[in-house]
Amino acid sequence: MTTIETREPRSTTPGGGWRRTLAAYVSLTKPRIIELLLVTTVPVMFLAQQGVPSLWLIAATLVGGILSAGAANTFNCVYDRDIDEVMHRTSNRPMVTGEISPRAGLVFGAVLTIASTVWFWFVVNPLSAVLSVAAILLYAVGYTMILKRRTSQNIVWGGIAGCMPTLIGWAAVRNRVEWPAVILFLVIFFWTPPHYWPLSMAFKDDYASAHVPMLPVERGALAVARQITAYAWVMVATSLALVPVAHMGWIYLSAAVVSGGVFVAEAHRLLRLAKAGAAGKDLKPMRLFHFSITYVTLLFLAVAIDPLVHLAVWR
């Protein structure tokens, strides 16, 4: 593993008080990433219920999911503090600035892990608790400690942790994992590379300076764009497989076709620019990154709405 020379954490201005400390701990959990994970959890619960699940169950699953994702992200911040210090966009994280010590971060992550596991086990069901622990291990150990610094395919296999909310949401309702949940798991699996690689292209120099072998660091823009396009096509095809498996209606089909079509078109736009020799900002990779968030939001919103419309029609 490549070692990264680090500096002493920057000292912070004293006198921030408990609110600043609280904000620092919340920052460790990466709330914006948690929001995206929860976007995939609740719609799957609607599909599993074929209607509106118990509001208490939704709330309980969300609480467990926030605690679980927060734990995984905290461990990531603790372990990656050397990388975060080198990279410009992460240099203000509390583990880097010294607002929170590594030991305090580990304790916080452990507390969140125990709390999420106990909560899922006793409030939701044991299967969701097991899946939650698996998600934490996949992200904190599989991605952060093993894959991220060793292979350019880190985000592909490390991204499995981000797919777990689809299984957890389904298990919370049905107490088992079935094919619709597996298909949605695969949608997120194939979505993750074309979602994250454009971001990595935009911050290629950051990753290179930290010696993190993200694909855009290891390969040229054309090779990366080709892989992004391939994953986009497979992702859309996988999303359409949900139609016969889960008996989805026209709302989901329309959303999958239209939003998927735009995603593929954006991927091909990036590929065309790469073929033309564009590089850096001229590629505008963040355009695809931002749309990828819109895509997953629209698709999973349709996952939630479709069974409600189906239920209303048959009533």
Query: What confidence tens digit (pLDDT) does each residue in 177-231 have?
Result: 999 999 999 999 999 999 999 999 999 999 999 999 999 999 999 999 999 999 9
- 143, part of any domain: yes
Domain co-membership, 44 together with 99 = yes
H or E element that contains 203:
none
Domain co-membership, 46 together with 143 = yes
Domain co-membership, 144 together with 55 = yes
Domain co-membership, 200 together with 284 = yes
Q: Which pTM does this prediction carry? A: 0.92
- 315, part of any domain: yes
- 159, part of any domain: yes
With pLDDT > 90 as the criterion, what percentage of the chain qualifies? 86
Determine the Cα–Cα distance for residues 83 and 214; give it in Å rounded to an integer: 13
Residue ending a domain, choose from 177, 194, 218: 177
Domain co-membership, 111 together with 212 = no
CB 64 within 8 A of CB 132: yes
The stretch 74-99 carries a mean pLDDT of 94
Structure tokens at 315: 């009533």
- 261, part of any domain: yes
Range of the domain at 276: 178-315
Domain co-membership, 60 together with 89 = yes
Across the chain, mean pLDDT equals 92
Domain co-membership, 135 together with 235 = no
Q: What is the DSSP letter of 131?
A: H
Domain co-membership, 73 together with 142 = yes
- Band (26; pLDDT cuts 50, 70, 90): very high
The stretch 150-171 carries a mean pLDDT of 95
The stretch 103-123 carries a mean pLDDT of 98
- 43, part of any domain: yes
- 8, part of any domain: no
- 155, part of any domain: yes
The stretch 47-74 carries a mean pLDDT of 97
- Band (264; pLDDT cuts 50, 70, 90): very high
Domain co-membership, 153 together with 292 = no
Determine the Cα–Cα distance for residues 50 and 275; give it in Å rounded to an integer: 45
Domain co-membership, 182 together with 39 = no
- 5, part of any domain: no
Mean pLDDT is lowest, of 28-37, 191-200, 252-261, for 28-37
Residue ending a domain, choose from 132, 158, 177: 177
CB 197 within 8 A of CB 235: no
Query: Which residue, chain included where needed, has tokens 């919370």?
Result: 172
- Band (5; pLDDT cuts 50, 70, 90): very low
- Band (128; pLDDT cuts 50, 70, 90): very high
- Give the number of domains in the chain: 2
Among the listed residues 163, 159, 158, 165, the one whose alpha carbon sits nearest the alpha carbon of residue 186: 163
Query: Is the dihedral angle over the CA atoms 221, 223, 229, 234 positive or is it negative?
Result: negative
H or E element that contains 257:
helix 250-275
Domain co-membership, 53 together with 86 = yes
Residue ending a domain, choose from 177, 201, 230: 177
Query: Which residue, chain included where needed, has tokens 């048959």?
Result: 314
Domain co-membership, 37 together with 170 = yes
CATH number of the domain residue 87 falls in = 1.10.357.140
The whole-number pLDDT of residue 35 equals 86
CATH number of the domain residue 249 falls in = 1.20.120
